Structure 1
């Protein structure tokens, strides 16, 4: 299974392999193994080994996704909330459109907004319609509220899932290459 993220207008942003953990009506939960190969055309990266492990929550009913990431030594790195279109899954590819705004969240749930400048630049350059601008801003506000209220997945769910995966012997490295 692959995550394929686009930028507004259909530009490929990045892709990487993941393992499906659970598919619900409102969210698709995946595991990104340490060292999974990421391709990022905008940065000229092909099969770049991602230096963290992640449990990712890609919402199909909300315009956001959340990744919980751990370093190679097992220490928690951060949560990363991404404002994007609701995820879709088709033929093993989880697709979404990145809308630039992000929320970096520490383990103690302190947060800061990232990439507001990128959002404003792309809004002008790519001509985001007003409904896309409103969607992105309301999604960011919802992400912040989720953190502050400690709602799923900021309720410890990622830590519990990672522990379950660890007990089940989930692979720590991904050798798959996208063709």
Structure 2
């Protein structure tokens, strides 16, 4: 597939290890693409859960996806500061339909005050047994938790306020051109 260009909209689809659809985000504006990464933003976008439930995001979010790292980052821009929701997930792929990844349950949430929490460890353990996650996948995911925490602790990439400001401003510029 042709890599989307700045200003294009893409859907995002997350799957579970068994191949089942987990969640779909309808419209994310692409802000930057490279051979390895896509940066996007969405605001009040429709999300559809695997059971058919639908909801709309409450705030703008800058999103970071990579072809090599086993995590993606959602930086939610809120009145009290930026909150991050980081999915431990397969590296992204993209095709004509959507940007796609496998969600491996583990999440790291970072609050505006910098406090961070590892979430859904029980869900990860249950799905690991249910779907027989390979040991290599388990090792890769645990190593990527460490990489992710290092990025958070050092304000690297999407964990820099300047990064969020830059890409959210670009989103606002592109949104007003439409």
Normalising TM by the smaller chain, what interval? 0.7 to 0.9
- CA shift, 1:91, in A, is 1.4
The answer for unaligned runs of 5 or more in structure 2 is: 1-9
For residues 72-122 of structure 1, the C-alpha deviation after alignment (integer angstroms, 9 at most, x for no partner) is xx4435111111000011115100000111110122332111111110111
Counterpart in 1 of 2:76? 69
Aligned counterpart in structure 2 of residue 22 of structure 1, from 21, 29, 32: 32
Q: Is the 8 A contact 2:108 2:118 kept in 1?
A: yes
Aligned counterpart in structure 2 of residue 45 of structure 1, from 50, 53, 62: 53
* SS state at 2:157 partner: coil
Q: How does 1:30-41 map to 2 (within 5 A)?
A: 30-34=40-44, 36-41=45-50
Provide the aligned length of Structure 1 versus Structure 2. 165
Counterpart in 2 of 1:118? 123
The answer for unaligned runs of 5 or more in structure 1 is: 172-179
1:108/1:25 Cα in 2 relative to 1: closer, same or farther (>3 Å)?
farther
Moved over 6 A (4+): none
Higher RCO structure (Cα 8 Å, ≥6 apart):
1
TM-score, scaled to structure 1: 0.85
Alignment root-mean-square deviation, CA:
1.6
- CA shift, 1:31, in A, is 0.9
